[in-house]
């Protein structure tokens, strides 16, 4: 089981941004333990893949929190948000525009999906998705979408193959009507959000890769 408290202390010391130089004895002071206990905690975090370490010839070590470690901290942050923050029926997400894998145009052109979006959202989506890589705060908030039922999009079969389902949420992208979609099977990591709309969002909002936009998602 992950030692979240030790991982949080490393993050506060700067290991979430890049490698920090730290000895077991100095880390022991930060977590109010013995040097032996501090060393065991660092070893356990490394075994669980939450940190990476490299021992320095002159003593001490370089420590960096890994992607898995960051995800564990985001999960912890989200749990605290559920405890202390009031439940809202919408969430504001922010991220940078990125070029996707090019699959959105194909999937949004399939009648099995287009019909469902028309019936459930009231519009036929432009053939393509706008992909955003979310900032750290929005990546945490996105978990609300994972836990909400959303609007179901059912899978279907054609003569050639089977297409998976997922769910979607009504959304406003810089004030433009649209939706956030969460496929059951996605090739993207959990900090990427796919957005659809009746119009070409890149063209309407004059977006280029790296541009930042906000998406208000209704739960």
Q: What confidence category does residue 109 fall into, taking pLDDT thresholds of 50, 70 and 90?
A: confident
pLDDT of residue 50: 94
Q: How far is 206 from 199, CA to CA, in rounded Å?
A: 12
- Residue 86 confidence (pLDDT) above 70: no
Q: How far apart are the first and last CA of the chain?
A: 32
Is the separation of the CB atoms in 173 and 165 below 8 Å? no
Average model confidence (pLDDT) across the chain = 91
Range of the structural domain that residue 182 is part of: 87-218
66 and 103 belong to one structural domain: no
103 and 181 belong to one structural domain: yes
Is the separation of the CB atoms in 91 and 219 below 8 Å? yes
60 and 101 belong to one structural domain: no
| 161 within some domain | yes
110 and 41 belong to one structural domain: no
Residue 176 falls in which region: left (phi positive, over 0), alpha (psi -120 to 50) or beta: beta
pLDDT of residue 161: 87
145 and 94 belong to one structural domain: yes
Number of domains in the chain: 2
Q: How far is 77 from 7, CA to CA, in rounded Å?
A: 13
| 52 within some domain | yes
Verdict on whether the full-model pTM lies above 0.85: no
pLDDT of residue 125: 95
| 10 within some domain | yes
152 and 209 belong to one structural domain: yes
Q: What is the CATH number of the domain that holds 38?
A: 1.10.10.10
What are 146-176's pLDDT values in tens digits? 989 999 999 998 878 898 999 999 999 998 9
- Residue 123 confidence (pLDDT) above 80: yes
12 and 101 belong to one structural domain: no
110 and 180 belong to one structural domain: yes
51 and 97 belong to one structural domain: no
- Residue 187 confidence (pLDDT) above 70: yes
- Residue 219 confidence (pLDDT) above 80: yes
26 and 123 belong to one structural domain: no
């Amino acid at each position: 089981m992950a030692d979240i408290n030790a991982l949080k202390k490393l993050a506060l010391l700067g290991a979430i941004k890049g490698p920090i130089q730290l000895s077991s004895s100095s880390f022991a002071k930060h977590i109010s333990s013995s040097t032996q206990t501090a060393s065991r905690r660092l070893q356990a975090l490394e075994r669980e893949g939450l940190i990476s370490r490299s021992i320095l010839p002159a003593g001490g070590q370089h420590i960096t929190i890994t992607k898995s470690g960051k995800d564990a901290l985001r999960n912890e942050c989200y749990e605290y948000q559920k405890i202390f923050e009031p439940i809202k029926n919408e969430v504001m997400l922010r991220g940078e525009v990125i070029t996707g894998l090019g699959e959105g145009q194909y999937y949004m052109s399939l009648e099995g999906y287009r019909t469902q979006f028309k019936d459930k959202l009231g519009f036929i989506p432009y053939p393509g998705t706008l992909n955003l890589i979310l900032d750290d705060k929005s990546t945490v908030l996105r978990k609300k979408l994972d836990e909400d039922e959303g609007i179901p999009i059912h899978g279907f079969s054609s003569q050639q193959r089977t297409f998976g389902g997922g769910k979607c949420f009504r959304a406003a992208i810089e004030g433009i009507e649209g939706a956030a979609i969460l496929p059951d099977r996605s090739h993207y990591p959990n900090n990427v959000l796919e957005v659809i709309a009746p119009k070409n969002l890149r063209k309407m909002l004059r977006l280029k890769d790296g541009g930042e936009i906000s998406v208000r998602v209704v739960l």
